[in-house]
Each structure stands twice: as structure tokens, then as C-alpha cells.
Structure 1
């Protein structure tokens, strides 16, 4: 288990992404995936109040609702649940009133007394940051939220949040959720990781498998052969360098008897301040690969090789 920042949250070093629940995984499939994840040793589930408002006929909150029903049906297993605010169609932005109303709605859907980890999903520059920081701090003070975190914030805004929290004496964030993986590294490593190291913040990266590219499934920029919602986004990584990364992952994964995806997750886990990458499974058979990704330990040479082949630099 790994501890998130300076919190009391002890988690399996792989978070199960809940974005697929109620979308590409129906209720029964979602329950089976959650059961397999917990039975395999997982205890960390990541969702958001907006999942899956983008799907036809959906209004947001579908993922939280399924997770809440599963928690109730399983007599509330000891899992850490993270969710987010700012993108639900009914609760857009991070004004104080909106943050409070959205948190209360998430609590009802999840059926829990307190949210373990509550994220500001996207920065809201139209709301004074002092107001947002104060609203999150009040949720902690009132016992509705145990710990807070930020997602998709720039380094400058993270530092400003920390300054305001310290000056006003409210709870600080304990984690950052950035877009980070083997084919998307530079911005996080150059700007976010130094802050996380200095301030004892944990990284919980999303798109850990680059929309599925780092499973090895997409080896062509032509996405037409893959009838999945993420195929087009994943196929863009099928460049010569991207395919070299996949080949290296395949060889290293085979040496440990794990999948390409598991090896990619293991590399990400090995990076400074990363506590638990997020990856989702829309089918039951994918869960074992995620669990393997939370357990397999790559050698120092394997980590260095993957770092080398995935290093990006602009063309001269």
C-alpha cells in the first residue's frame, strides 16, 4: 500500500478509473469489475460527478450512482473513493455555493458520509481562487470531505492554492491529478513534479495508458479498425517513437510475465511522487492487467530504458 501525501489514505498503488461505469461498462459489468479489483487487492476507485454526461441520454452522475449501489450491495467494503467537481452540467465551476451543492449531490449518489478525496476537476478562473480554496476547506472542516486535491491545474495555480490555504489556515491539497504517461511526459516532469516533491503532494495520473495506446492495441494511426470510443485518441500516438515504446514495453513485460499495459503502469508508478496511476477496465478480463501494473517491479535498467526511449525533444 502507498500513502497519499501527508493524508491518512492508504491505497493500492493503482486506482481503478470509474469513467467507464454506466458508459462502456453497464451496471452488471461495472459490479463485476469492481468485485474483481477488490478481490485482487485493490482498494482505490476514482470517479467524477460529470461521468458520463457526454454519453447520449446521460446527465452526469451515472458512475457515482453505480459505485454507490455497489458499495451498498457489498456492505461498504474498505475502499477509498475519489470524486471531482466542476464539470457536472448542473454544477459547473468552482464557486463556493456550487462546490457545496455538488459535494452534497455526490455524497447522496455514493451513499457515503464523507468523500475520501475530493478534487477540483478543472480550474475555474472566473471564480476567485480564494473563494474556491475556502469552499474546499469548509467541506473538510464540516466533515463532508476527508482530503482535497486538484486536477488539471497549472503549477502556478497549484502554488497559489497552497499559499492561500496556508494564509487562511484551511486544509491543503494532498494530491495532484495530471495527464501523465510514457507518451505525455514533459509538462508534468518539468513543472508539476518539482512542486509535488517540495510540498509532499502525491501524483495520481490520469490517461495512464494514453487512452489505450499503451496497451499495445493500436499500432497504426488508422483508427477505423477499432470500433471503440477512444480509438481515434489512442491511434495518434502510433508514431515511430510511440511504436518503439510499445516494442520496449512488450519485451520488458514478457520478462516479468505481464502485459504491455502492466509494464507501462509499472514505469509510471516508479516516477517521483507518483503514488497510484489511474486506469480503467470496461471488461472483466482487463482487471488482472491493472492489478499486475500495481504490483510488478521493474529493474532500474528497465525503467531507465523506458525513460530513454520515451524522452521527447523538439526537432532541431
Structure 2
């Protein structure tokens, strides 16, 4: 396993890949979820990611499932002290806001955030979260309110480091400036959708945000900000014939990039998934991939990417395809 520091030189030490637990307890059953977590820890993995709404869109689910299962694993393996846990607030369904998600998401107001952090701590069975994200932008709430409330969680010891997910770069920068101007802890991590293929620009991403050149430039210029990329492998679409490309990535430009990706993978004796992960981790603004897997075998494939080094020529071909 390789490691780095979260949020610059003041954050906790984390594994260079983060295990996403979004489907755990819903579409990935508990025995399989626990086996994946065990294997990740055995391999030296220390960084896991969940949220207070995972996976509320699955029929019959409430959004409790991922945090509850992760909490059981942390307790049963006595792993809390050696695991950096990230969770999120802002996108959990709130029935008082309406019957349908994501239109009824709780948002980032002070009351919602206070309720959210208490709920996450209870489900995880801990008194502290290492990394706490504002999950989805909420422009209906003043930044000062969100920033101040989240900073309070750090100050009272319930949260270690703050992050933002699915935020526009300018909004992230403004929030960080707001916190700095008030002498408060600010966002030191940002998690956005990020993969090798480029998305179409004529389709709305909805509440999800892509990592774009603006964010990459911003992260490269701010070493106190760690960039994480979720859905890097597009749920298997790079390697599985039964998983077509998502519509957002299905366009003529992807044909060339997929061809070059296959060429580089063959040169390296690696899978396309492993090359994508190595490309993310080794760029000018290094990315921590948040990997989502549904089996131990899939996890092992991803972990092998940690030792894959792309040479400058291969990276240039991938970048310019």
C-alpha cells in the first residue's frame, strides 16, 4: 500500500486509494461487504468513504445502510483507531421537504447539518468522524452559515477535517476564503466525479459535479487541498461487455481515448481499470481514487494499480488522445 497526507501536511495519513462503501448493506450484501473491508485493511488500506444517504435510492432502503454496516465492521474488528472514516451530509432524504429524492434532500443549513452529524456518529458508533463532507451544493443557504456550522464540528472535536463534494470550483474557493477570513477551519478535501474519459457537455450532470481543468488547476495550486475522484471506473464500463458506457461518456471523443487506453494497458500487461487508476494517481494534481467494488477480486484488481507506473510517453499519449 502507498500512503499520503490528507489536506496538506496537517491532515491524517491515508492510503493512496479510498474504499467507497456506497452499496454496502444494500446491493452488496453484508458478508461480501465485510469480506471486502477485511481484505482492504489486510492490504494496508486505511481510508473508507460513506455518506448519510447511501444508498437511499435502492428500493426499500433508507440511507442508513452503508454507515450502519461500516460501523459494525469498525466495532467488530476494533478497526476505528486504524481507519480514516469519511462521511457526508446534505443529500439525505428529508420527508418534511417532500416525498421524492433528491428534491427533498436535507441541504446544508445549520439545523440540518447538526441533525446529520449526530445521526452519522450514532450509525457509525463513534464520537468522531475523520473527514466530513458537505455533500452537494446548497445555494439556498448562505455560505457563512454552512462554513460556520461545519467549523463548529471541528472545534468541538466531532470532526477532524472538512471536505466538499459536488461543488463548483468557484463555490469551493469562495467557501475556503470565507472560512479563512473568519479564522475558521475550511475545506481541505474535495471529492468530485473523475475518470479518464471526458464527459459530454450537452448533458446536465444533475447534482453530481465532474472534475474539470479548472478544479485540477485549483488543486495543483493549493497543496493544502486533497482531490478525490469518485466513480473512476464507471461501474465496470471500461472492462465489462455487459456494462455499456454511461450516456454522459458515450460520444465520438471516447473512441480515441479508449483505443489509446487499450494500447497502454497491453504495453503494461495491465487491465484498463488499472491504467485509469494509475493515470489518476500519477498526474500533476494527484488524485485519490474512491474505488467502488462488489467483490474481493475486483478490489484486488484495483489495488494492483498502486504499483503501476506509467512512463512519460504513455502518460502523454493518454493525456492528448
The normalised TM-score by structure 2 is 0.86
Out of 56, 70, 75, the position equivalent to 1:67 is 70
Residues 1:138 and 2:152 are matched in the alignment: yes
2:110 alignment partner, one of 96, 118, 124:
96
Give the conservation status (yes or no) of the 8 Å contact 1:205–1:278. yes
SS in 1 for 2:59: coil
Aligned to 1:80: 84
Instruction: Give the conservation status (yes or no) of the 8 Å contact 1:2–1:13.
Output: yes
Alignment partner of 2:221: what SS? helix
What is the CA–CA distance in structure 2 between the aligned matches of 1:88 and 1:295, rounded to whole Å?
37
Give, in whole Å, the separation in 2 of the partners of 1:18 and 1:147.
19
CA positional deviation for 1:197: 2.4
Larger RCO, structures 1/2 (Cα 8 Å, 6+ apart): 1
> Secondary structure at 2:193's aligned position in 1?
coil
Given the superposition, is the C-alpha separation of residues 292 and 194 from structure 1 closer, same or farther in structure 2, using an over 3 Å criterion? same
Give the corresponding residue for 1:314. none
Q: Deviations over 1:53-82 (max 9, x none)?
A: 000111112111111111111112512111
Separation of aligned partners in 2, 1:173 and 1:111: 24
Residue of 165, 174, 177 corresponding to 2:179? 165
- RMSD in angstroms over aligned alpha carbons? 2.0
Q: Distance in 1 between matches of 2:7 and 2:22?
A: 24
* Corresponding residue of 1:194: 217
Q: Give the 3-state SS of the residue equivalent to 1:2 in structure 2.
A: strand
Q: CA offset at residue 89 of structure 1?
A: 1.2
Aligned to 1:253: 265
* Residue correspondences, number: 297
Alignment partners' CA distance in 2, 1:39 and 1:71: 14
Matches within 5 A, 1:6-21: 6=8, 7-21=10-24
> How far did 1:232 drift?
5.9
What are the ranges of 5 or more consecutive residues in structure 1 without an aligned counterpart?
219-225, 310-316
Choose 178-187 or 16-25, whichever is displaced more: 178-187
Q: What is the distance in 1 between the residues matched to 2:232 and 2:299?
A: 15
Alignment-derived partner of residue 31 in structure 1: 34
Alpha-carbon distance in structure 1 between the residues aligned to 2:123 and 2:107? 20
CA distance in 2 between partners of 1:20 and 1:289 (Å): 19
Q: For 1:103, what is the secondary structure of its paired residue?
A: helix
> In the alignment, does 2:171 pair up with 1:147?
no
Q: Secondary structure at the match of 2:230?
A: coil
1:85/1:121 contact within 8 Å kept: yes
d(CA) in 1 for partners of 2:275 and 2:213? 23
Structure 1 counterpart of 2:302, from 277, 283, 290 = 290
2:235 and 2:296 mapped to 1: Cα distance?
18
Shift of 1:240: 4.7
Whole-angstrom distance in 2 between the partners of 1:110 and 1:294: 28
User: Can you give the 5+ residue segments of structure 2 that lack an aligned partner in the other structure?
Assistant: 95-104, 202-209
Looking at structure 2, the residues matched to 122 and 137 of structure 1 have their Cα atoms a distance apart, in angstroms, of 17
